[in-house]
């Protein structure tokens, strides 16, 4: 894992992930989006890149990962090179009004917020454009080398990524259109923007990953730049050792072992069988993912963490694995 790799073409493509300006990390709920987004952000900042991470669905998981206290819309400094924020569509609207329409907006926006709630509920795309617009704005302002988005899960990400285009379709002329054109320029530029899908080698996450990659391709202008296969199980023992475990289940070995440990060894054998079965079934899902996904999309592997560490310690571990996978 830690030895130097030959730099293949695939490695070069993978390296490009952190060379981009805007990376959306998405995937099925619970597969490890926050784990990957915080790991990538930590790696980026440790490589000297000025980094912003944004948690789109603010549950406080990014703050917990960095052990840094809450991450408001107005941002929090995590390290000298890393800032973290959470999305808030009302605050995004307020900032938009202030920046673009030069409206002095003090405190809560009151009636505007009410009108916004109404419009956002009635017109699909409004909430999405405020989310994606803020992220593109951070890229446009160029205060950061990279913006990493702990994005919405599979069900919502396509709507967000496609929002500027959808609004462009609706409004053919006028100021709103000019307000979405520059977002599209950022999102549709493959050297600036990319999506990373996180999956696990299980049936449902693989299905969702294949489905989502297809939708990203057909419904958005954003490029899929990588798939992280998370929670990869290690091969704990070889075939020979597996046979040995099976042999030990039967007499005379079983009886002898029982005497030696002064107890029933069956649970240990069951655990060994389970480890083999889980790894094998995952291997077949992984095989399907690899064979059905576009060959140009690199797959990155993150091992299952057996130690129950959370917070910064696990962020650092993830960043180290990602660094290896990306060939740094």
Ligand X SMILES: Nc1ncnc2c1ncn2[C@@H]1O[C@H](COP(=O)(O)OP(=O)(O)O)[C@@H](O)[C@H]1O
Q: Compute CA 62 distance to the chain's CA centroid, rounded to the nearest angstrom.
A: 12
**Per CB under 6 A, does 323 bind ligand X?**
no
Binding partner of 51, given ligand X, Mg ion, none, CB within 5-8 angstroms per partner class? none
DSSP states of 245-313: HHHTTSTTHHHHHHHHHTS--HHHHHHHHHHHHHHHHHHHHHHHHHHHS-TTS-EEEEE---S---HHH
**Which residue in 17, 18, 23, 31 binds ligand X (CB under 6 A)?**
31
CB of 45 to ligand X, least distance (A): 18
Residues 129 and 3: beta-carbon distance below 8 Å: no
Site membership for ligand X, residue 32 (CB under 6 A): yes
**Contact status: 298 vs ligand X (CB under 6 A):** no
Task: Specify whether the CB–CB gap between 150 and 40 falls below 8 A.
Answer: no
Considering only 22, 35, 128, 322, the residue that binds ligand X (CB under 6 A) is: 35
Q: Which is nearer to Mg ion, 42 or 96 (CB)?
A: 42
Of the listed pieces 91-99, 204-212, 263-271, 299-307, which binds ligand X according to CB under 6 A?
Answer: 299-307
Residue 46 — left, alpha, or beta (φ > 0 → left; ψ -120 to 50 → alpha)? alpha
Q: Could you tell me if 290 and 299 are in contact, meaning their C-beta atoms sit under 8 angstroms apart?
A: yes
Task: Give the shortest CB-317-to-Mg ion separation in angstroms.
Answer: 17
Nearer to Mg ion, 31 or 276 (CB): 31
231 binds, among ligand X, Mg ion, none (CB under 5 to 8 A by kind): ligand X
**Of ligand X, Mg ion, none, which one does residue 195 interact with (CB within 5 to 8 Å by kind)?**
none
Q: Applying CB under 6 A, which part among 159-167, 168-176, 284-292, 298-306 lies near ligand X?
A: 298-306
Alpha carbon distance 82, 66 (integer Å): 10
Cβ closer to Mg ion: 63 or 272? 63
CB count in 10 Å sphere of residue 142: 9
- The yes or no reply on residue 71 touching Mg ion (CB under 5 A) is no
**Residue 282 binding ligand X, by CB under 6 A:** no
Residue at shortest CB range from Mg ion: 34
Task: Please report where in the chains the tokens 């913006």 appear, as a residue.
Answer: 147
Q: How far is the CB of 59 from ligand X (least distance, A)?
A: 8
Lookup: tokens for 20 = 């981009």
> How many other CB atoms are found less than 10 A from the CB of residue 1?
9
Distance, in Å, from the CA atom of 84 to the CA atom of 52, rounded to the nearest integer, reads 6
CA angle in degrees (0–180, nearest 5) for 215-233-326: 60
Determine if 26 is a binding residue for Mg ion (CB under 5 A): no
149 makes contact with ligand X (CB under 6 A): no
Q: Which of 34, 38, 89, 199 binds Mg ion (CB under 5 A)?
A: 34
Q: How far is the CB of 160 from Mg ion (least distance, A)?
A: 15
Residues forming the site for ligand X (CB under 6 A): 27, 29-35, 61, 230-231, 302, 304-305
């Amino acid at each position: 894992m830690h030895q130097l790799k030959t730099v293949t073409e695939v490695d070069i493509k993978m390296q490009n992930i952190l060379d981009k300006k805007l990376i959306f990390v998405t995937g099925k709920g619970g597969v490890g989006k926050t784990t990957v987004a915080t790991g990538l952000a930590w790696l980026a900042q440790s490589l000297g890149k000025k980094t912003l991470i944004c948690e789109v669905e603010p549950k406080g998981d990014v703050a917990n990962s960095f052990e840094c206290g809450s991450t408001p819309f107005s941002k929090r400094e995590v390290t000298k090179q890393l800032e973290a924020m959470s999305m808030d569509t009302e605050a995004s609207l307020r900032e938009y009004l202030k920046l673009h329409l030069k409206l002095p907006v003090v405190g809560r926006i009151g009636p505007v917020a009410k009108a916004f709630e109404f419009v956002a509920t009635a017109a699909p795309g409004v909430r999405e454009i405020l989310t994606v617009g803020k992220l593109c704005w951070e890229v446009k302002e160029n205060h950061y080398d990279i913006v990493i988005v702990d994005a919405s899960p599979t069900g919502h990400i396509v709507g967000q990524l496609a929002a500027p285009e959808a609004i462009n379709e609706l409004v053919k002329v006028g100021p709103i259109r000019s307000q979405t054109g520059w977002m599209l320029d950022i999102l549709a530029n493959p050297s600036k923007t990319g999506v990373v899908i996180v999956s696990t080698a299980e049936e449902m996450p693989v299905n969702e990953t294949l489905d989502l990659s297809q939708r990203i391709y057909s419904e958005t202008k954003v490029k899929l730049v990588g798939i992280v296969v998370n929670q990869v199980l290690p091969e704990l023992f070889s075939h020979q050792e597996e046979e040995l475990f099976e042999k030990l289940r039967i007499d005379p070995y079983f009886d002898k072992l029982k005497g030696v440990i002064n107890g029933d060894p069956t649970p240990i054998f069951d655990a060994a069988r389970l480890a083999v079965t889980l790894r094998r079934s995952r291997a077949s899902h992984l095989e399907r993912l690899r064979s059905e996904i576009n060959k140009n999309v690199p797959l990155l592997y993150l091992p299952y963490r057996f130690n129950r560490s959370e917070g910064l310690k696990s962020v650092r571990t993830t960043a180290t694995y990602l660094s290896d996978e990306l060939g740094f």
